Structure 1
């Protein structure tokens, strides 16, 4: 006969694999424990407060060092804790090795026998050499606690380093062509699936946490005054003569996380030159983040569900085309544990979903310059507001739907060109000639140069902007098609998104080029 512990392990495994519904078995729940110091004892800890959150949310709200306000008082998370001491031991023995690419953000966990701490590898997503890693221990926390020896406060004086859990990451390989893909058009295909998604908290400055495996006390590895390098107070109630933990060899750079199974709709998006979705590039992050938020919002509107019940994330396609920036993936997933079937429905209406997302990006009621709370912004994506640009997202999505490479909006290019022009005037040496919308004769048919620049004693050059997704190609079709070499005037192309996000760098590159002329 099977033992009780064996039955429990079987039940946990069935829940983890999604074979049993999680509505009645909320296993991914983390408690933040606040001890009642006066009534607790070593053998009977009594809680003053014990709020709970889903673990993927708790990884941000109850993260070590985070301030948690309860009943008008501020408590600080400082321990991994469970009322059942075996839970923490089991979590540690089940730890994995976490590896994340420093270039594209692709992440995966491995059993401890398949990877080593400190190990680095080539990234299979972006193709970067030795940028996947280094490997770090990854722990699923059974719960959190306010250390019993720490007093709560009503007006905290300091603000600790904060950290947030990552977006859910899809760790599966890109399915092959015979795996059930449904073509939306020649450039987009979609498939439904049930997969595990990975959520992790890598700590402040991505440096992880220092964790005492003996008592459970934990702190950010970036802390200015580490407390776990020697004997320290235990975070839970104990006898007076046993309140000091002698665990003097804590593990460092620990990553906290969880994974959960859910329904997903995986969209594969292919582009052709001159478009580029090169992993790790700022323009790629802006375009795919924007499309992800637009698709998630459009999905919730189409399915008539609450915002946040379907979310989206992107990654490079794990193919040879994905490595060189010609294929990327966006997956929509149900946030309800175990999945609710929402994302599966979206795979049947891919065209309608893409059109709805495009409509959201092109019809902002405020006609905002990049994004606002009327179109794409929300409290849930507050950390990514700087990456949301509806014009860049619309340009990519329109190409995916029609195959036509629409030029960047004329008004936006005009404003960005003016920004660059005025900054060049400020930085250029005395005697430099800078002209806006100058005419350059090419084969008896003049073209308009957005900026014509000539340093003292140098030769003239045409400075033009490229759309964010077509680096190196002037956004003006006439200028891109003109052979300026016949007129002896070279063309200098700068990315429009760089001008908006890092104007000093754009100006510095152009001035360096002009000085070499």
Structure 2
């Protein structure tokens, strides 16, 4: 591992000043001629694991490029982790080979899975790119998970002091994992020898350089990106309204409203912040994890620790979900809760319950 990657992964330096997590879809320029020489396809790894995932198609320079698999580098291996995740409770656990398999705190019995961190990027095959007939659909999405703090447990503050409705664990470094689990969560078949990737078993198969490969296919593998950043843990104590929305999706809906509200108050793009939820069986509303969407952290979520700033965040979030966007209460749109990054949750996000909840919550401060 190079020095910059190590220092930024450990949050010693800020990654937004050293973009070490940018990877490329290698178009094999030496074999594609001028069509590839004018194209440079690069993405942050958190985006690339979906946009450059094996079998993904994208248009660049009026040509259709197809990802063939993960790029291999001689004498180096992809980082691999085992993990379990419960979609119902949004519990996520990960561990390395040789470590004992942890039990799920939610009690669900789940089989371990594996994810690979494709830190060397992705690669096309040597077939000539074709002219696209239409814009290819985006078939893969990503989902963020909170894997735990990397430092001592932070102090907790309650807001408002007179009648606590929210407890907040102060911003501290935490490990975030972003996963792409393939179509319908089935993962990918990744060749351990050549890096070729498929949605179903194909053996023998052609490697990215055109030769036949009989390497072992790893089944059901996900693609992942890990980074340490500043996280702010929120636990809402005010009771969730009685609605048909499940607690997990109520938590996500509230989380994404807070992201938009915080971005407005902090005067930063909403893409600089993100959110997910955790699990705590003691509460109706899952813990919400707000985090700087910048590996290494940028000190953004820490600014929400001031009670006045956090209240303004709630008020701005309420403005976002009041209904000016025009969608129904039991739905959502890009004008309120939806964004490119939370596509996995689009069909479950609901604006109305969050509007009513925030109105009640803000009333406690008054």
Unaligned runs of 5+ in 1: 1-7, 41-45, 238-242, 405-517
How do 1:104-503 and structure 2 match up within 5 A? Answer: 104-115=89-100, 122-124=103-105, 127-130=106-109, 133-141=110-118, 142-148=120-126, 150-155=127-132, 162-166=139-143, 168-172=144-148, 179-185=154-160, 186-190=164-168, 191-220=170-199, 223=200, 226-227=201-202, 229-230=203-204, 232-236=205-209, 243-247=211-215, 249-272=216-239, 282-317=245-280, 320-322=281-283, 326-348=284-306, 349-362=309-322, 364=324, 366=326, 368-369=328-329, 370-402=331-363
What is the distance in 2 between the residues matched to 1:137 and 1:37?
Answer: 34
Per-residue deviation, residues 425-446 of structure 1 (Å, max 9, x unmatched):
xxxxxxxxxxxxxxxxxxxxxx
Per-residue deviation, residues 489-516 of structure 1 (Å, max 9, x unmatched):
xxxxxxxxxxxxxxxxxxxxxxxxxxxx
Unaligned runs of 5+ in 2: none
Counterpart for residue 497 of structure 1: none
What is the distance in 2 between the residues matched to 1:154 and 1:388?
Answer: 37
Aligned-pair CA distance for 1:352: 2.4
What is the distance in 1 between the residues matched to 2:137 and 2:310?
Answer: 44
Aligned-pair CA distance for 1:47: 6.1
CA pair 122-51 structure 1, distance change in 2 beyond 3 A: same
Whether 2:15 is the aligned partner of 1:34: answer no
Q: Normalized against structure 1, the TM-score is what?
A: 0.62
Aligned-pair CA distance for 1:297: 0.9
Whether 2:57 is the aligned partner of 1:90: answer no
What is the distance in 2 between the residues matched to 1:103 and 1:25?
Answer: 37
Residue aligned with 1:316, SS: coil
What RMSD, in angstroms, separates the aligned Cα atoms of the two structures?
Answer: 3.2
Greater Rg, structure 1 or structure 2? 1
Tell whether the 8 Å contact from 1:196 to 1:261 is kept in structure 2 after alignment: yes
Tell whether the 8 Å contact from 2:59 to 2:132 is kept in structure 1 after alignment: no
CA pair 115-145 structure 1, distance change in 2 beyond 3 A: farther
Residues paired across the two proteins, number: 355
What is the distance in 1 between the residues matched to 2:8 and 2:261?
Answer: 30
What is the distance in 1 between the residues matched to 2:251 and 2:60?
Answer: 38
- Which residue among 46, 69, 77 is the counterpart of 1:56? 46
What is the distance in 2 between the residues matched to 1:208 and 1:214?
Answer: 18
